[in-house]
Amino acid sequence: MAKQTVAVIFGGVSSEYSVSLVSASSCLENIPKEKYDIIMLGITADGRWYLYDGPIDSIRNDSWQNEAYITPAVISPDRRVKGIVVFEKGGFREIQIDAAFPVLHGKNGEDGTIQGLFQLAGIPFVGCDMLSSAICMDKEYTHTVLSQAGIRNAKYMAVHRNEIGEFDRIETLLKEKLCYPMFVKPANAGSSVGVSKAKDSAALKAALELAFRHDGKAIVEETIVGHEVECAVLGNDKPFASVIGEIESCNEFYDYEAKYVADSKLQIPAKVDKTISDLVRDTAVKAYQALGCAGLSRVDFFITQDGGVILNEVNTIPGFTSISMYPKMMQESGIPYGELLDRLIQFALERAEVHG
């Protein structure tokens, strides 16, 4: 049986560029080589696209932009090509691919932008489609869909950048609805980038200003007293929910540093009773389907002291680094890393065959 060609795409114009490099390196090292021919396509932090033909370690340590290994290249939107156009001296050549595997976190990778390109090009791709990616990326729309589906989530309020000049009015509304302390997040950013906990008026204003450096809209949420658990969901029309994992953050909350820099502790499976674990898993699948997800997503929850389960967020391209929860939870559920990557690619091909 002939191998299928898969383009793994890494980097990107995002605050999570460096995380993408580590995630993609792990994926490249574990995709079954006996089944797939791998094309590596890198996007620099300022948006230049290159076909990359060097060592994987150079991706991980961000030294991949070596002229000996890179050639300008792009995904073609032309459905005749169904793949990559490589620009070489004196002309170009085309590489047809069977599927794309975007290992891109945050903006321009997880928000529907590149998914729209794949859909336009007619290329099967790993993960959620353009619409579900965009909804899951925008925390306001995620809240709206979850509430409509009857899934419990935090009380919140959206604030736009042009409202910062009316801070006193905004603060009054926020205090009435949410009370201090409250969490402030960019509406469209992943991995807790730009997230702050505001305990008073001065901290709230600073938190909004920080969030607006990452997005034109901020989401302000009530503080949930509880501990965070996560669930990995895999599949298309009949999704599977993994065992759940628990995080003991080394910081006050599970921010970017706690996820990728410092030493947070992961407990898989989580130390919760079966009733709560089953509720988390069932709710994760319900949210996954309500949001139109496919392929994969990691669904994050808070468990309150009285046993309540509150959905925090849905990540459509969760981290795939060596310390990431998604592959660890799937491995604990009986799906090792290499098999997981194989299944993701096959789900992409299956969805393209069924839905076009």
Kindly report, residue by residue over 153-166, the tens digit of the pLDDT.
Answer: 999 999 999 999 99
What integer pLDDT is reported at residue 24 of this predicted model? 98
Residue 356: pLDDT band by 50, 70, 90 thresholds? low
Question: At 166, phi and psi to the nearest 5?
Answer: -110, 40
CATH of residue 296? 3.30.470.20
Do 260 and 215 belong together in one domain?
Answer: no
Do 112 and 170 belong together in one domain?
Answer: no
Nearest Cα to Cα of residue 341 among 17, 38, 14: 38
What integer pLDDT is reported at residue 288 of this predicted model? 98
Q: Is residue 55 part of a domain?
A: yes
Q: Is residue 130 part of a domain?
A: no
Q: Is residue 32 part of a domain?
A: yes
Do 292 and 143 belong together in one domain?
Answer: yes
Do 96 and 244 belong together in one domain?
Answer: no
What integer pLDDT is reported at residue 355 of this predicted model? 72
Question: E strands within 136-258?
Answer: 156-160, 182-186, 196-198, 217-222, 226-235, 240-248
For residue 134, pLDDT beyond 70: yes
5 bridge partner residues: 37
What integer pLDDT is reported at residue 53 of this predicted model? 98
CATH of residue 185? 3.30.1490.20
Q: Is residue 317 part of a domain?
A: yes
What integer pLDDT is reported at residue 279 of this predicted model? 97
Residue 181: pLDDT band by 50, 70, 90 thresholds? very high
What integer pLDDT is reported at residue 6 of this predicted model? 98
Do 273 and 248 belong together in one domain?
Answer: yes
Do 147 and 292 belong together in one domain?
Answer: yes
| Contacts for 295 with CB less than 8 Å, ≥ 6 apart | 126, 127, 128, 234, 235, 236, 344, 347, 348, 351
Do 142 and 166 belong together in one domain?
Answer: no
For residue 256, pLDDT beyond 70: no
Q: Would you give the end-to-end CA distance of the chain in angstroms?
A: 23
Q: How far, in Å, CA of 222 to CA of 195, rounded?
A: 13
Domain boundary among 201, 222, 243: 222
Confidence (pTM): 0.92
Domain around 207: 156-222
For residue 46, pLDDT beyond 70: yes
Residue 138: pLDDT band by 50, 70, 90 thresholds? very high
Taking the CA of residue 195 as centre, how many other CA atoms within 13 Å lie in the half-sphere pointing to its CB?
A: 21
Domain boundary among 222, 244, 259: 222
State what percent of residues in the chain have pLDDT above 70: 95
CATH of residue 87? 3.40.50.20
Q: How far, in Å, CA of 265 to CA of 325, rounded?
A: 11
Instruction: State the average pLDDT for the chain.
Output: 93
Do 272 and 189 belong together in one domain?
Answer: no
The whole-number average pLDDT for the span 34-40 is: 98
Which tens digit of pLDDT belongs to each residue from 265-294?
789 999 999 999 999 999 999 999 999 999
Which amino acid makes up residue 147? Answer: S
Do 284 and 145 belong together in one domain?
Answer: yes
Do 312 and 243 belong together in one domain?
Answer: yes
Which tens digit of pLDDT belongs to each residue from 65-78?
999 999 999 999 99
For residue 257, pLDDT beyond 70: no
Domain boundary among 205, 222, 239: 222
Residue 173: pLDDT band by 50, 70, 90 thresholds? very high
| Range with top average pLDDT, 79-83, 185-189, 322-326 | 79-83
Judging by DSSP bridges, how do beta strands 4-11 and 36-43 pair with one another? parallel
Q: Tokens 């795409």 map to which residue?
A: 9
Do 146 and 257 belong together in one domain?
Answer: yes
Residue 2: pLDDT band by 50, 70, 90 thresholds? confident
Count: domains in the chain: 3
What integer pLDDT is reported at residue 252 of this predicted model? 56
Do 163 and 312 belong together in one domain?
Answer: no
Residue 322: pLDDT band by 50, 70, 90 thresholds? confident
Q: Cα 241 to the chain's mean position, in Å? A: 17
For residue 143, pLDDT beyond 90: yes
Residue 1: pLDDT band by 50, 70, 90 thresholds? confident
Q: Is residue 95 part of a domain?
A: yes
Q: Is residue 165 part of a domain?
A: yes
The whole-number average pLDDT for the span 156-185 is: 96
Q: How far is CA 345 from CA 236, 251, 272, 283, in A?
A: 12, 35, 32, 25
For residue 253, pLDDT beyond 60: no
Q: Is residue 273 part of a domain?
A: yes
